[in-house]
Amino acid sequence: MNAARIGCVVAALALAACGPRIKEGEKIEDLAGKDRPASQPVAPTGPIKADSQRAVDNYRKLLDLPQDPATRAETLRRLADLQLDTDETGGGTVAESDQRLGESVALYTTLLREQPDAPGNDRVLYQLARAYQNLGETAKAEEALQRMLKQYPRSEYADDARFRRAELLFKLAQYDDAAAEYRRLLEVKESPFFETAQYKYGWALFKLGRYDEALGVFLVVLDRELPAGEQSDEEAALAGARPGKKDLARESLRVASLTLGYLGGGDAARQYFAAHREPGYAPLLYRKLADSLLEKKRFTDAAHAYTAFIDAHPRHALAPLFQSRAIAAEEAGGFSELVVQEKERYARSFDPAAAYWSGRTPPPEVLAELHGHLDDLARFYQARGQKTRAGGSGDGRGDSATAAQRYRRLLELFPHDAKAAETRFLMAESLFDAGQTLASAAEYERVATENPGYEKAPDAAYAALLAYERNATEVPEAQRTDALKRAVAAALALADRYPKHPQALAALTRAAEDQYKLQDFDAAARTAARVIDADPRAPDELRHTALAVAADAQFSRKDYAAAETAYTAVLKQETLKPEERQTAGERLAASIYKQGEALRAAGNQKGAAEAFLRVGRAVPSAGIRATAEYDAAAALIAAQDWSAAATVLEAFRAAYAASPLLGDADKKLAVAYQNAGRPREAAAVLERIAGRPGESAATRNDAAWLAVSLLDKAGDARTERAYEDYLRQFPEPAERAIAARQRLLELAAAGGNEALRLERLRQIVAADAAAGTHTDAGRLAAARATLELGRVEARKASQLSLHLPLKASLAARKEATERAVTTLTHAADSGFADVTPAATYELGQLYRELARALLNSERPKKLSALELEQYNVLLEEQAFPFEEKSIRFHEANLQRVQQGTYSDWIGRSLQALAELAPGKYAKRERTAEAYDALR
């Protein structure tokens, strides 16, 4: 380099030294101290100063001059640093910024390539990462930092680089690697990045879904930043945070609550703190958790966050407040049933008698909340019980009883409440709906007597009467008298206390009727007179009822004839409305009916029938007419006037086709027809009963069986079809089914239809085989049918003659014989005393007939005498085994004598043996001796 060129360079350097010095590069701790992100945005602050630009130009010129490696490296570094510093101080357009940063990257890259092992390359790599980051090339920036940390782990820029790299990795969503870098920074307690790295480490774990670990990190941050002791107010707690850390604490509190949400919400929080130390700011976390869940409209989960805290701290001072917030969360979600559950929990947990207070007095705000919740709960249960009852899905009594309990507790806790009278009235309503009528009546009475100025006091008095009246219908008979007396007293009290009440005269009318029920006829008359003599005049309906009390008195004294006269007089009143006339008519009908009952009780069945029939003639529209005419038929049956009973029952069926008594009428009609000697008509009625779905299975079966039996007895042409229909409809009970099949067999035999007879036999066998549970009767019937089928097969076999060619005819005869043997063997195996010996005998005879057929078979023509003799010998040899089988079967029959069994079939077997083996059996005249010969 010549002296003049060197002088220019030195002058350029000196000029640069007079301007801004080349920065070594701001460090991350400086940035962190300014609350600025590690990645610095380009923020223009005006045009670049001329001296800085001249320094850049001079350094570029210097690079064109020959230099030793060290000087060139320093020139490259200083020019790159100056370009990076110039860009970060601002000035110029984005394109100019990108050009400068690109030149810095190229210079740093050249320097690292030319001087890979030069001292200070750690700083070069760090600066290169800054340049890349400012260019927005995050991945390359991270790669440069990774290279620096790997090659220079002990560099003075290591912490800066590690934090910068962690931030870049986080930005690249490489949370695993970012978490690792943050964690390494946490190993250096005195690092200026420690607190920020700790916070970001928690975030990285959160992003990785490692919520349990993330929560632990955020709790450590909160332990450090929030004041010691229990914290339940967020703003107060954050106000106590360390200077400059309020936002960090607020955000850590928020993220910790989010983490709990991801871990499972309230239960997760409770379980976590049960397994770890619970911090003093735990109430804040539960509240923040609930708030975050509410923001996501997870109303039930939010409510559960509050109740989870209560579960963990049932005696905590915040428990009532948190329970109220749980209720509010469910209300916000519109979950009425869950709101009820949470209100129930409030009422249960914070009632003054609850263990929560342990003798302490609940504050007014809790009592106010409790009052509201108890009132809401009571009204909810009351409404739900009424809705259930109105909808027909239940009686709603359980809900009504619960409502009454809540109202009662309200009265116990707030006896002087302004709405106490209304509360007691509602409690009485709920008790009534719950079926606790006596308690309901007592509460209604208290409303009327203790609160005379209450607008619903008259209604309460009337409601008390209704409750007493219902109670009188519910109590056991032994208590009914007292119950009616209470109802009467309530009615009289209503009329005396509120004579203008719209129901006062109706109450007196009912009281008169109840007094009649109590057999206090004088009092009933006096009370009825108050109605009759009322001024202003009582409604006609009530007057007529009161007039009827006198008739009822006659009726109650069982002077039914006099009562009939009295009711007839009532009916003569022209002012009677149709419904009133109907009521009086019903009572007249009852008077006549009662006379019929009296006659029936006295044994005068025909007189009773006449009285019962007179009900319809006197009051054609009487509701009791159908019953009266039914009872008339029953009385005629009792009098054994079958024809008259049938006539009445036929008329009953025609007039009352929808009567619930129709089924019983048919049963009586069937009896009447049967006893009147009209079996076919009886059978028709019984068939109707058998087909009626409302009858029990047993009744339908009995009716069908009796119907077919009557048809059979009458010799009706429909008998066989009736038996078949019966079997299709009623395969059970087995005894009847067996009898039906047996009768069908008999009818087939009587008709001479052999094919049908055989089919009936097979049906008997098949029915027993298909039976799930075999009965002795079924097995016996099947055994007998099998025996008969075997005999038929045996007859078929015996009808097959043996002719030439013998081989062919013998094969056919043997095949037929085997079929018969199989069937007869089944019969013999049945074990029945009247079947097994017979089947055994038939088996013996079957083989005897086969042997005899062989011996009597057709001989070939043109045989010589010798050939014929030899042929006969061969036949005898073939016949011999069959004779032996025959003998064995007959001997098997004789062996039954030892078992105490003897029948005609055993005797027949003995006779056959005398013919088959005369040498052994012909001389034995007695069965016992024959049996001895076998032993």
Three-state SS annotation for 523-544: HHHHHHHHHHCCCCCCCHHHHH
Q: How confident is the model at residue 923, as a pLDDT?
A: 61
CB count in 10 Å sphere of residue 236: 11
Closest by CA position to 148, among listed 173, 172, 170, 165: 165
Q: Is 751 exposed, middle or buried (0-12, 13-18, 19+ CB in 10 A)?
A: exposed
DSSP alpha helix (H) spans, 751-864: 754-770, 776-798, 806-828, 836-855
Q: For the chain, how far is it from start to end, CA to CA, in angstroms?
A: 151
Give the span between the Cα atoms of 550 and 561, in whole angstroms.
14
Return the ∠ at Cα 809 (arms to 806 and 813), rounded to 5°: 125
CA distances from 227 to 88, 218, 239, 272, 292 (A): 40, 15, 9, 21, 23
* Tokens at 220, concatenated: 């450590």
Give the DSSP H/E element, type plus range, for residue 169: helix 158-171
DSSP letters, 256-275, are HHHHHHHHTTHHHHHHHHHH
CA-based torsion, 839, 840, 846, 852: positive or negative: negative
CB 89 within 8 A of CB 100: no
* C-alpha 747, offset from chain centre: 56
Q: Is 443 exposed, middle or buried (0-12, 13-18, 19+ CB in 10 A)?
A: buried
* Tokens 């250096």, residue located: 188
Closest by CA position to 703, among listed 685, 686, 715, 721: 686
Q: How confident is the model at residue 41, as a pLDDT?
A: 39
DSSP letters, 304-338, are HHHHHHHHH-TT-TTHHHHHHHHHHHHHHHT-HHH
CB 797 within 8 A of CB 845: no
Rg for the chain, CA atoms, rounded: 57
DSSP letters, 42-98, are P---SSPPHHHHHHHHHHHHHHHS---HHHHHHHHHHHHHHHHHHHHH--S-HHHHH
* Tokens at 265, concatenated: 């919400």
Give the span between the Cα atoms of 564 and 642, in whole angstroms.
30
**Cα diameter, the chain:** 170
Return the ∠ at Cα 180 (arms to 176 and 185), rounded to 5°: 150
Q: How confident is the model at residue 929, as a pLDDT?
A: 53
Low-confidence stretches of the chain (pLDDT < 50) are: 1-50, 925, 927-928, 930-931, 934-935
pLDDT in tens, 611-645: 989 999 999 989 899 999 899 999 999 999 999 98
Give the span between the Cα atoms of 595 and 564, in whole angstroms.
9
DSSP alpha helix (H) spans, 334-434: 336-349, 364-391, 397-413, 420-433
SS3 706: helix
Return the ∠ at Cα 823 (arms to 818 and 828), rounded to 5°: 115
Quick one: residue 93, left, alpha or beta (phi over 0 = left, psi -120 to 50 = alpha)?
A: beta
pTM recorded for the entire structure? 0.51
Could you check whether the bond before residue 805 is cis, i.e. omega within 30 degrees of 0? yes
CB 907 within 8 A of CB 841: no
CB 199 within 8 A of CB 252: yes
Closest by CA position to 490, among listed 552, 531, 536, 438: 438
DSSP state for residue 357 in the 8-state scheme: T
SS3 149: helix
Q: How many residues does the chain have?
A: 935
CA distances from 933 to 683, 838, 920, 925 (A): 60, 22, 8, 12
Q: How confident is the model at residue 91, as a pLDDT?
A: 64
